[in-house]
Amino acid sequence: MKVAAAQFATDLDKDANRATAVGAVRAAADRGATVVVLPEASMCGFGNPRTDLSEFAEPLDGAFVSALASVAAQTGLTIVAGMFEPAPAETRVFNTVAIVGPGGLVASYRKVHLYDALGWCESDRVQAGEADPSNAPVVPLGELSMGVMTCYDLRFPESARQLVDGGATVLLVPAAWVAGEHKVAHWRTLLGARAIENTAYVVAAAQPGPAYTGCSVILDPMGVVIGELGPDDGAGSSALVVAELDAGRVDEVRRALPVLANRRFSLTGRATAAPSRA
């Protein structure tokens, strides 16, 4: 199975963003991909800290997902893309990942861990999704199974392990990983760790510099990089990295390195409460 990660920048122009996303899907299809992962906030950028994202949010049957469903039906691809979905609190949104196949919406995930760190406060504008197995979709596709997490979730190994416990052999990570000191090193280290500790493929699609780190990457279950982009690729137009995934490789690594079978601790399903907003 060929999988693609697309790297491109978005802003508050939803029509332009949607065209870029559809173009990236078509480019992935031209290169033989079965699955394409688009960045976090593919539908609409974050804007500045005062931007009211609720004005841009769309339901899962809105224009963005409808456009993805149309191009998925035309190309046969499964598309994974970040968007903003209306939340019960009128001034906030869900940071959602939509998984769309040729038959339409397959599943969705609402980001659990919000980026309230390093001077940012995502929870000012975004409502956290439920930290619950029901909000941890794993989608079978051929001989592989795809689990989805988003950006800051990467810093919480329980998120990836929950997906792997649910059967995931591939971890898909749409991201808008904010640029800054040590951030590229953190990005690469954490992606490698999630691959190695879970003996799973990782496909990470990021927004490019200068605002974000770029460096979209595909890693095999040993943490070996099998495809990557640079920090600024896709800054002018979308860029794409494509790699072949093989279920047999997952089986081979899990036999040689049976960390999942050897572990002595498991997740209980209990979650801590989301932090309160002062």
Active site residues: 40, 111, 151
The closest alpha carbon to 167, from 194, 135, 144, 191, belongs to 144
- Spatial contact of 221 and 249, defined as CB atoms under 8 Å apart: yes
